[in-house]
A and B are shown apart, each in its own frame.
Chain A
């Protein structure tokens, strides 16, 4: 088991965004977290990555308690994420966006950089080649020097995933990666996610608004509505669950 969330509750003032949330992920799994708008999906991500400290409950990563830990430390322990609305450092180059994620591994400091000593140059060279290698694996090596903000939408999505991969995560959280894409692009992206999962040996938790996008690649699906898990199981089971259909389509009223 890589991630374990027990009895998590997130309350903002009087608003309970997520309540009694339990989820555990096994190594190498791809789990879909779906639900209507405002169900609390992104809140779950924010709690896992340390952006919010949960009101109640505990989160463990590989047996280690990470509840309420600072986001940069959570990242260093091996959880990376992307965002629903792309949040690249848009004025930096594609290359720099990746280098930022590699930054915290460096040993040399400002002093080494100013004196341009051997230690600095060796580290710098290895970082550059590592970043280039990562970019090549997502087919973005050709645009390494372009500003990130100038890339087409689909490439920005891939760059954001690549930036998350640069932190060397064990667990990758993807927040609606297919948002704003047409069905063909979505299918392409899901294939891409399946591929990086194999190549990097990742466990993935994937938020998606539309159910059919994740049906194909998720082993398990968890459905959230109004902050509460209303259904969980294989894609097949979930898609037939009347509670899920009700949450998405509303209740049919019989006269």
Chain B
């Protein structure tokens, strides 16, 4: 394989990896606070993409407002999902709330089919990200969107870590994640903190969905399923509950997926199966994930 070819793949790998990381963070944050896998998380990707699609196509909004609208609406939907489907079940056994999450996922997907129709739609692209626009660096041709995704991810990651480690809200999130009951008894309004967590996770999923649409510019109501699954796997692989773990897990998963397709084209048909092999391997060999810690069951 030519060196330039390799770098081409590497650029793609980094791009896909950071996309996975962004979405995996949402899974891991919610799990950290509620010990819940929010299976509806992937479907938020799809909703955000459709909001941009309609914002551009139907309401002729400029790019910046339609993206902001998609992020805000998706964050609001995340809060509504928590409020209506998870909060009433907070004291129920964990399996109950997990099933509720699967239910929300099916609901959103099928609502999408009814409202948006099953036929894939072309995702609108800003001129800067048009499929022709690319940069050539030392013989390696990198599309603008491939380059933009890791940059956006890094910026958002920086903001997120700042919120979690340097603000009072972030401190309250960590306190709630460590000990729900004690945090309440220290005067923290846990409902507000949980809502904030869902809003942040959903906003990140929205950005992920919009960038997904720009990278693979065809959207359909089930487009969130596979990325959702893979990012969930990335979060488990990295060590669920841990933000750094989700980033590393997403990154490794994305890079590995691209590299397998690049180096072993004969098995490229199994690229989606690869993530599940990682999931099974993680659960068998190291259930706490790469940098997850052993968590004592809450008493």
Contacts and interface: CB of A to CB of B under 8 A. Distances in A.
Contacts of B272: none
A152 interface: no
A157 interface: no
A201 to B, nearest CB: 19
Counting chain A CB atoms within 10 Å of each CB, the highest count among B186, B189, B196 belongs to B186
B186 A167 contact: yes
A104 B174 CA distance: 15
B186 A163 contact: yes
A103 B182 contact: no
Interface stretch (B48-56, B164-172, B278-286): B164-172
Contacts of A114: 159, 162-163, 167
Interface string A152-164: 0000000000011
Interface string A91-124: 1100010011101101001100110000000000
A100 B175 contact: yes
A122 to B, nearest CB: 14
A92 B186 CA distance: 15
A51 interface: yes
A83 B178 contact: no
A127 B167 CA distance: 12
A76 interface: yes
A72 B188 contact: yes
Most buried by B among A80, A100, A127: A100
A72 B175 contact: no
B169 A70 contact: no
Contact of B189 (A51, A72, A80, A101): A72
A67 interface: no
Of the four ranges (under 10, 10 to 19, 20 to 34, 35 or more), the interface on chain B belongs to 20 to 34
Contacts of A21: none
A74 B167 CA distance: 24
A103 B181 CA distance: 16
Nearest to B174: A92
B188 A104 contact: yes
Given A89-B174, A99-B171, A110-B169, A72 B181 contact: no
A79 B169 CA distance: 22
B69 interface: no
Contact of A51 (B179, B181, B190): B181
A103 B169 CA distance: 8
A76 B196 CA distance: 20
Contacts of A87: 179, 181-182
Given A87-B179, A89-B174, A75 B168 contact: no
Interface in B198-220: none
Contact of B185 (A51, A96, A110): A51
A234 interface: no
Given A89-B175, A110-B163, A114-B162, A100 B185 contact: no
B183 interface: yes
B88 interface: no
A96 B181 contact: no
Contacts of B162: 114
A49 B185 contact: yes
B189 A104 contact: yes
Given A103-B172, A114-B162, 18 more contacts: A70-B184, A71-B181, A71-B185, A72-B186, A80-B185, A80-B186, A83-B182, A89-B175, A99-B168, A100-B175, A100-B186, A100-B188, A103-B188, A104-B187, A110-B169, A113-B163, A114-B159, A164-B186
27 contacts: A51-B184, A51-B185, A71-B181, A72-B186, A72-B187, A75-B187, A80-B186, A81-B185, A87-B182, A89-B174, A89-B175, A89-B178, A92-B171, A100-B171, A100-B188, A101-B186, A101-B187, A103-B171, A103-B172, A103-B187, A103-B188, A104-B187, A113-B167, A114-B159, A114-B162, A163-B186, A167-B186
